[in-house]
A and B are shown apart, each in its own frame.
Chain A
């Protein structure tokens, strides 16, 4: 409508037929006083609505500020927690040539931009200062996905060197966090002050001398 008002009569020659029809309708309305009637009524309606607000009861409580954004925890997807392609949590293996262990996890985090820290541990007896045998950083997907395309993976191709250096029963534990952990595996606050969350998963590996067979 405003476009048509701004047009000078000389420009009407180049307008398409539909625009010419609208232009003619506009001049017809002004001529008939219909448009000024609509404007007056609309202004009256706005004044009535605005002034009536003073008659409504007012909220006496002060609204609290919107709570800050909270971090949400990452999650290990258990149906894709694999050891040598199997969902078994306990595995018996020899330590001969060719024996290997392939641990794999899929992870999710509703915070699509969080980098996930994956720490892998293997030990026979839990003690302080356990070494991290593998540390991975799972970067956000592009475009972001709650379930990350990249898996956390630890392939142990030798069962004669640490951490699997002798016969016995081992725990392989993986901690997945969306922030850092200290040396005693306690989660540390994230740079933005929110809480770091941790999820964990564990397998038991029974290692015996000999071939991969029991």
Chain B
């Protein structure tokens, strides 16, 4: 008995040694074996692979035949789809006046911004650059915010409060009515630099302080620095933002709070001085130059405005030269560097006070987090040649959301290595062959180490088995029988995610139809 206790104590002492390497888990399950006997491990947890599938079919975007969405729940191996035809939002363009509503004859641009109704998270935006009198906008099925902008006169942008829901094949009529000119608030004034009219072309625009929605169009200042904005009706407080017409000009932006109604206002951009060049070099923690990195400075400048320098790309030696404005002596700006996806160099953010031309020296970027993992087949065999992609989906710790997607392929032992910045990621695993793709959510925290972050090991992922779903795409009959969709149609299968911290839908499979309208896809199965 005493001897057994001694062994147990020895084992307990060994456990911490064995667990010295930290393993990061996926947000929910890792493999189908973690789920019930009929369930599959999806990114948001275990679920029935035969139910609640959402399908997006895009027949031909070039001809305005945009995506139409369906819900299917089937265990069958065959599923045909009948496409009702194009979805269209249309309506008359008019404007209120004292007598009621009159047709609006000016040129208008229309934009529909939204997402799929059945597959939330699938972004859709459509625009019409010019319409007169009425408009007709082909769209995919979805739920949209509709916006109209008069391009021949400075009416405030018009955004409908109600969302427009368009089902496949729907033709939805939405009239767009601009407010009457007399109902608009007039905001006029001058914008000066050190008391003088600006020498460069500047513009101003009014925004809603809470929603950041534009309440006026952009208006360019005249030679005396004067402007006049027509602001949406019934607005009391606005933010007026000034900025250069040419985004590359060496002029800061500044935002002013203005209460309406008001007498003509005088806005002062302040004395910010002339632009100058600063140089530097970017290297890894090992001292290697980082080529192809995007570098810029962003932050406060003299005069009270903010300035974002033009982005530059580092040379083969890691050298860069930025053109910027002076910062206040007590308020630093931020120099940021984003290395190419294949570089081991992570996101660099450095506080810099820049008072004049010179060099910021050599900057060492932190190393990215090394992420290692492995992929196995459902039978436990190592899965070689699986493409792995890490798509950033949410920022953590106040860091910017990484903009690049890290990619790798599993080797002969089924292992992969990625280099990423700390963030929440969706890892997509695309096996080569007859198996379905799998996705998982994972948070890469990145514990700080000497020159970057400690390596992270992710728990192994087991791929699901697959089932083949085939079918034919048809257009709904205009007269007589259904006609198959000719040409190349895109067919994508999604699952709705129940994880509220992640994108609302996850791609399960994608395929294309052949010239006879037939398609074939591999979906996860148990």
Bound complex: CA of A8 vs CA of B127, how far in Å?
Answer: 87
How many whole Å from B425's CB to the nearest CB in chain A? 11
Q: Is B455 an interface residue (CB 8 A)?
A: no
Bound complex: CA of A163 vs CA of B207, how far in Å?
Answer: 25
How many residues does chain B have at the interface if contact means C-beta atoms less than 8 Å apart? Answer: 77
Instruction: Of the listed stretches B168-176, B225-233, B352-360, B430-438, name the one at the interface; the rest are far from the partner chain.
Output: B430-438
Residues of B within 8 A of A210 (CB): 207, 212-214
Within 8 A of B (CB), among A104-149: 104, 106, 124, 127, 129-137, 139, 142, 145, 147-149
- Pairwise interchain contact A214-B405, C-beta atoms closer than 8 A: no
Q: Is B387 an interface residue (CB 8 A)?
A: yes
With CB as the reference atom, state the residue of chain A lying closest to B214.
A210
- Pairwise interchain contact B511-A149, C-beta atoms closer than 8 A: yes
Question: Contacts A129-B316, A147-B488, A150-B510: A165 and B311 contacting too (C-beta < 8 A)?
Answer: yes
How many whole Å from A114's CB to the nearest CB in chain B? 14
Question: Contacts A91-B127, A165-B308, A214-B149: A133 and B113 contacting too (C-beta < 8 A)?
Answer: no
Q: Is B420 an interface residue (CB 8 A)?
A: no
Bound complex: CA of A147 vs CA of B514, how far in Å?
Answer: 8
Bound complex: CA of A129 vs CA of B159, how far in Å?
Answer: 42
Residues of B within 8 A of A131 (CB): 292-294, 313, 340
Contact of B64 among A83, A87, A155 (CB under 8 A): A87
- Pairwise interchain contact B400-A160, C-beta atoms closer than 8 A: yes
Instruction: Of the listed stretches B37-45, B117-125, B274-282, name the one at the interface; the rest are far from the partner chain.
Output: B117-125
Contact of A166 among B64, B127, B247, B340 (CB under 8 A): B247
Bound complex: CA of A66 vs CA of B211, how far in Å?
Answer: 70
Question: Contacts A106-B490, A133-B404: A165 and B294 contacting too (C-beta < 8 A)?
Answer: yes
Contact of B60 among A79, A85, A92, A136 (CB under 8 A): A79
Residues of A within 8 A of B212 (CB): 96, 210-211
Q: Residues of A at under 8 Å CB distance from B?
A: 77-88, 90-93, 96, 100, 102, 104, 106, 124, 127, 129-137, 139, 142, 145, 147-151, 154-158, 160-168, 209-214
26 inter-chain pairs at a CB distance below 8 angstroms, sorted by A residue, are: A79-B63, A80-B60, A80-B512, A82-B490, A84-B125, A85-B61, A85-B122, A86-B61, A86-B124, A86-B127, A86-B140, A92-B127, A124-B311, A131-B293, A133-B403, A133-B404, A136-B407, A137-B387, A147-B512, A149-B510, A150-B430, A151-B510, A157-B391, A162-B294, A210-B212, A211-B213
**18 extra A-B contacts, CB within 8 A, seeds A80-B58, A139-B432:** A79-B487, A80-B490, A82-B490, A83-B125, A85-B122, A91-B127, A106-B512, A137-B409, A149-B510, A157-B393, A161-B338, A161-B402, A164-B403, A166-B296, A210-B207, A213-B111, A214-B147, A214-B149
Q: Residues of B at under 8 Å CB distance from A?
A: 58, 60-64, 66-67, 109, 111, 113, 116, 122-127, 129, 140, 142, 145, 147, 149, 157, 159, 207, 211-214, 241, 243, 247-248, 253, 291-294, 296, 308, 310-311, 313, 315-316, 336, 338, 340-342, 385, 387, 391-393, 400-405, 407, 409, 430, 432-434, 487-488, 490, 510-512, 514, 521
